[in-house]
Amino acid sequence: MTTTRSENEEKATALGNACLDADVRPARRAWSTFWSQPRRILSAYRPRYLRPDLVAGLTVAALAIPQAIAYAATAELPPQTGLYTAVIAAVVASLWGSSRFLHSGPTNATSLLVLSVLLGVLSDPFSDLPRFMMAAGVVAVLAGLFRLALAYLHFGSLVTLASRPVLLGFTVGAGVLISLGQVRHLLGLEIPVTSHAATMLADLAGRIEQTHLPCLWMGLATLGLIVLLAKINRRIPAMLIAMSAAALAVWVLDLEPQGMMVVGDIPRSLPSFTFWSGLGSLDFALINKLALGSLAVAALGLIEAMASAQTLARKAGHRLDNNQEFFGQGLANVCCGLFSGFPASGSFTRSATNQQAGARTQMAGVFSGVAILLAMLLLAPYARYIPRAALAGVLFVVAYRMIDRKAIRRVLKTSRAESTIMVTTFGATLMLSLEFAVLSGVVLSLAYFVMQSSLPRVYQVVPDPTFRHFVYQPEAPVCPQLGVVNISGPLFFGAVAHVEEELSHNLERHPSQNHLVIRMHGVNLCDLTGVEMLEAVVRHHRQLGGDVYLIRLRRPVQEELHDSGFFETIGADHVLQPESAMGVLFDQAIDPMVCIYECEHKVFAECQAIEKHAYHNLPPRPVCVDLDPARLLTVDHAREMMAEPQTITVDVREEREFLRGHLPDARLLCLRQLVDRQAELPRDQALLITCRSGRRSALAMRMLQELGFDNVYGLRGGYLAWLAAGLPHTADDS
């Protein structure tokens, strides 16, 4: 059997991918292994990866350059800050991360959040730009250290710190804020920088008549060109071409002296280590104020990066080492802060482009960083002509593309709770400080997760058509006497109020279900508060004349209930085996009278043999005779009465029940036939009425007294009480 070259290449590629995935380590490992990630990447590198990685790196660099300048403008930072961040983050995060495709650098949401954090402590970036840039570097270092701490603590399982609705709400809010923040550049207005929507709108409304028309036309032209090129071919670097065209127009037409605001000079130099020298311009109190915002920046950055990395990893079928990725993102941010940059994160747009361009390893990110650096060194003199209005047009497109309209519609259609979370986060993003909005979104996500995962599901179930399984069918008929409820989740102190409330609501919906069966195979934990809640449920149902039964107990829960003394409250005979539970319940709890005369449905398998009779032969007026308690006899008194020759014992059950067992010398006269066959009963003799448990005999006594029978008595507790006393009975199994 021969093997083709393409098959060999596929096998070699698979082997190389396996080597690259081999860096995934168990959760707990030495700190030093995080630092050795570049060695693992380079040792697994193969010459055949070089060309696709180079192509992907150059492709992403063409996209990253205009984005880096634009995102720096979002944070009101000089363009070189964005470019330095793009270079450093792309190289460091790629070498020390675990995702082959994740491309790190400035991102839109992070840049906007950085601006919000900085404006909270430094009101005007233009009054002292070096101090403003230094504060941005401090935020990057603090955010990076926080991420490194998460990696050191092996908190990689905290991949998603915020739910999808929170991210959608924040993203939409951020898109609105970015658009509002760039309107001033589009209109050529000198307006103070702010991250609050209401303040932006008020400032714009007060200065709208001062609009600089050349800036407006430049921004709209840039926006139109990007949209047009994207429609022609999405692979065209539309943003880079549009920004280059705008810069060319400013240079050729000499628009800068006419009031066209430009980004200004960009240094043709490598990122410099300015952290320690500039740190002296910031006092400890200021750094302390930046700490909380840095925490929000770190959280948002991890959310962005890990969501992008996981999505692409699932598509490619390779694994991520979450702790290593936390380390890579943390180290990249620390380096950005030390070398004239600002906070970075993983960009889904650039990462997806990286994958689609054919990247094979993390080296594609390294190549893109080097390409950005070379472009900056070579083209810096020309980049100074980029008009801020053109950057505004670029950011309008970016802000619009941030909004995932399909996902928003999906959330609105599927979940009211998640829709509320999404709208709440959107409102918080617009009205509150962004760092508070991010952290509150994280807290809201965690609270929602705890609520969903810890609160048990409580729902009534009924047998399926085969009577082999109990299923949730809210529209299916239920038994009027017996409710079967599933509890799925822990019965601990934080959940018992919810469970008790759900059981109470179920009883309100079905008030005649005074007997309750609780299926507890989904309960894996029951603390003392849960035990006390079950005891309260048992007491309540017994006060209603019913009872509570448990089935399918897990061993840990059963041991907890036994040790707490709960079995003494409920009775060990009330913990039933699944295979025999319904038989026991039909013998001990369910009243056949209700099944025969009052229930139209056959819910359980045991109901199928019960003959249903609609009781329509009631007397012409309602039975309203009150029973004299003295006429309800105990077993001993009934036995004495039966010994008298003038007493006739009448059993009002159904024939099937009667044949299975009845009192000696009893006469069968079904309750449904009582009115029609009343002539068969003597009016001058004592009548002792019996049934299964006393319910039907009580109704029969009222009916007979209503019909004029005066000497009528009943057996308290019925045939079951007779059997419990160990007295003789008659059965006819024929």
Q: What is the pLDDT of residue 281?
A: 60
- Name the DSSP class of 514: -
pTM of the complete model beyond 0.75: no
pLDDT in tens, 340-369: 899 999 887 788 778 877 889 999 999 999
Boundary-marking domain end, from 548, 574, 607 = 607
Q: Is residue 128 part of a domain?
A: yes
Domain count, the chain: 3
Least confident of 49-53, 148-152, 155-159, 701-705: 155-159
Asked if residue 473 belongs to a domain, the reply is: yes
Q: How far apart are the first and last CA of the chain?
A: 78
Pairing outcome for strands 103-105 and 470-471: unpaired
Instruction: Tell me the pLDDT tens digit for each residue of 544-558.
Output: 888 999 999 999 999
Asked if 248 and 392 sit in the same domain, the reply is yes
By percentage, how much of the chain surpasses pLDDT 90?
A: 30
Residues 639 and 587 in one domain: no
574 and 657 belong to one structural domain:
no
Query: Domain limits at 658?
Result: 629-724
Given a contact cutoff of 8 angstroms between Cβ atoms, the answer to whether 549 and 520 are in contact is: no
Distance of alpha carbon 520 from alpha carbon 552, whole angstroms: 6
Checking if the pLDDT of 53 tops 70, the result is yes
Torsion of CA 231, 237, 241, 242, to 10 degrees: 50
Tokens representing residue 449 in the block: 């997760």
Cβ-contact 466, 430 below 8 angstroms: no
227 and 261 inside one domain: yes
Of 381, 413, 445, the last residue of a domain is 445
> Could you tell me the pLDDT band of residue 1, with boundaries at 50, 70 and 90?
very low
Helical residues (DSSP H) of 455-553, grouped into ranges: 496-509, 528-543
Q: What does the CA dihedral 573, 578, 580, 582 come to, rounded to 10 degrees?
A: 90
Is 8 part of any domain?
no
Judge if 488 and 550 occupy the same domain: yes
Q: Which residues are CB-neighbours of 202 under 8 A, at least 6 positions away?
A: none
Q: Tell whether 200 is covered by a domain.
A: yes
Q: What are the structure tokens assigned to 278, written together?
A: 């500039």
CATH of the domain at 701: 3.40.250.10
The reported pLDDT for the residue numbered 390 is 86
The answer to whether position 6 is within a domain reads no
Q: What is the pLDDT of residue 714?
A: 94
Specify whether 691 is catalytic: yes
Q: Would you say residue 553 lies in a domain?
A: yes
Q: Which amino acid is at 219?
A: G
Helices marked H in 317-387 — which ranges?
Answer: 322-338, 348-356, 363-383
> Same domain for 594 and 654?
no
The answer to whether residue 422 is domain-embedded is yes
- Identify whether residues 351 and 498 lie together within a single domain: no
What CA–CA distance (Å, rounded) separates 305 from 308? 5
The burial of 252, by beta-carbon neighbours within 10 Å (0-12 exposed, 13-18 middle, 19 or more buried), is given as: exposed
Work out whether strand 103-105 and strand 345-347 pair parallel, antiparallel, or are unpaired. antiparallel
Check residue 86 and give its pLDDT. 95
Cα distance between residue 193 and residue 181, in whole Å:
8
- Phi, psi (deg, nearest 5) at residue 344: -125, 165
Distance CA 449, CA 123 (A): 37
Amino acid (one-letter) located at 442: V
pLDDT band at 613 (very low <50, low <70, confident <90, very high): low
CB atoms within 10 A of CB 472: 11
Structure tokens at 621: 């007026």
Q: Which of 377, 412, 445 finishes a domain?
A: 445
Nearest to 394 by CA among 83, 174, 178: 178
Distance CA 297, CA 143 (A): 6
* Backbone angle region of 693, left / alpha / beta, with phi > 0 → left and psi within -120 to 50 → alpha: alpha
Q: With bands split at pLDDT 50, 70 and 90, how would you rate the model's confidence at 193?
A: low
* Same-domain check for residues 285 and 396: yes
Question: What is the average per-residue pLDDT within 687-716?
Answer: 90
Residue 280: predicted pLDDT = 58
Options 215, 335, 479, 691, the catalytic residue: 691
Q: What are phi and psi of 646, to 5 degrees?
A: -85, 0
Query: Hunting for tokens 């619009």 — which residue is that?
Result: 400
- pLDDT reported for residue 373: 93
Burial 236-245 (b: 16+ CB within 10 A, else e): ebbbbebbbe
State the pLDDT confidence band at 624, using cuts at 50, 70 and 90.
Answer: low
Same domain, 411 and 535: no
Q: Tokens standing for 454?
A: 């810890």
Domain check: are 398 and 478 in the same one? Answer: no
- CATH number of the domain enclosing 548: 3.30.750.24
Quote the percentage of the chain above a pLDDT of 70: 89
Same-domain check for residues 400 and 537: no
Exposed, middle or buried: residue 3 (CB in 10 Å: 0-12, 13-18, 19+)?
exposed
Claim to verify: residue 591 and residue 639 sit in the same structural domain = no
- Per-residue model confidence (pLDDT) at position 29: 59
Domain presence at residue 13: no
Tokens 């058509």 label which residue?
465
For the residues 391-419, what does the mean pLDDT come to? 83
